[in-house]
Amino acid sequence: MNKDIFRYILVFVALFLIGNYTHLKIIASQEVELRFSLEKVYLFHAFFSALICVNLRFVSTVNKLFPQLGFIYLGTLVIKLILFAIFFYNPLFTVDSFYFAEKISLFIPLFIFLLTEAIFVVKILNPKDSKIIQ
């Protein structure tokens, strides 16, 4: 289990570093000015995706909660969405309209981290990989 947790953290830190700096370089080369902090968006997604995966890995060791892990994951996604809206309230809801580059810049980190998070959650939910279900 410790190896899995280390892997989750390592992958999300690597995604944060590679994704953020690559994205910033592309934005800078296109001379686009964003009205929000791209680094904070990447940091939010990296932190909460790692937190979700680590917590689900711990909860998967509890026999009574293992069948409910899918519902727990869906609940954490809703909480993540609400927290994202709270943390980024000013850039999201006070701006009249976003430029196309800003919309894409919000969508790319979401897609990257949600896809990676879903892959890890599928591995956690797979009964073959679980040591509990035999």
pLDDT tens for each residue of 25-81: 999 998 888 888 899 999 999 999 999 999 999 998 888 988 889 999 999 999 999
Task: Work out the pLDDT band at 118, boundaries 50, 70, 90.
Answer: very high
Q: Global pTM?
A: 0.85
For residue 62, CA distances in Å to 56, 68, 109 come to: 10, 10, 31
The domain segmentation of the chain, as residue ranges, is 2-125
- Amino acid 127: pLDDT: 63
For residue 109, CA distances in Å to 63, 76, 126 come to: 34, 18, 26
